[in-house]
Amino acid sequence: MFENDYTINGKHATYLKFLAKKNSRDDDSPDNPKAARLFERYIDVYMNAAVFGLLYSRTAKRDSTSDDRARVYADAFATERENCVFLYRMVMLLDKTTELTPEERVDRAFRYDTQPEKAEEFKKNMDLFHDYVRGGIEVMYEQFTDGCQTQDDYLSKTYEVMTTFKKELEGISYADELAKLIR
């Protein structure tokens, strides 16, 4: 899990590049409208997107409307492996797109990735996780770029989005959700 490169295609790649500093090589001017530069690395966008996708219950299938590609490299996953595994397990526990018993949720979050006989289920779970990542990339792109033209606009918008995000997180009791699972 999180040991190989992962390629994001289509509009999601375009959005990811827009949100990451890595893409800013194209034009280093501070008002480059082609790069918001809100995140340092692609892996940072990827991990935050998993959270945004889950919080906003947004999933998205692979997009093939353009040939754009962005790759999160295995070395980035190696650096952030613990965080990615944590996010994967959180998504598997709290996902509302499937009707599962608490025991099934725990199994898919903590067991399927280690059991060879569950390889097909694990692949489906990783696909679901990546659906949340792509959905989260869409949410972040929409929220962080609405009405922005300059780097100052992006920074102001980021503060606004994160303040709203914090309030929404405080309003959701994931602890209660997790407590239900272990009862």
CB-based burial, 75-92: b 16+ in 10 Å, e otherwise: ebbeebeeebeebbbbbb
Give the predicted TM-score (pTM) of the model: 0.84
The better pLDDT of the pair 164, 11 is held by: 11
Q: Are 133 and 53 in contact (CB under 8 A)?
A: yes
pLDDT of 32 strictly over 60: no
Average pLDDT, the chain: 86
Confidence of residue 24 (pLDDT cuts 50, 70, 90): very low
Q: What is the DSSP letter of 118?
A: G
Q: pLDDT tens for residues 79-111?
A: 999 999 999 999 999 998 889 999 999 999 998
pLDDT at residue 162 in the model: 81
What phi and psi values does residue 152 have, to the nearest 5 degrees? -60, -40
Mean pLDDT of 38-45: 92
pLDDT of 140 strictly over 60: yes
Looking at residue 108, its amino acid is R
Gap between the Cα atoms of 19 and 136, Å rounded:
12
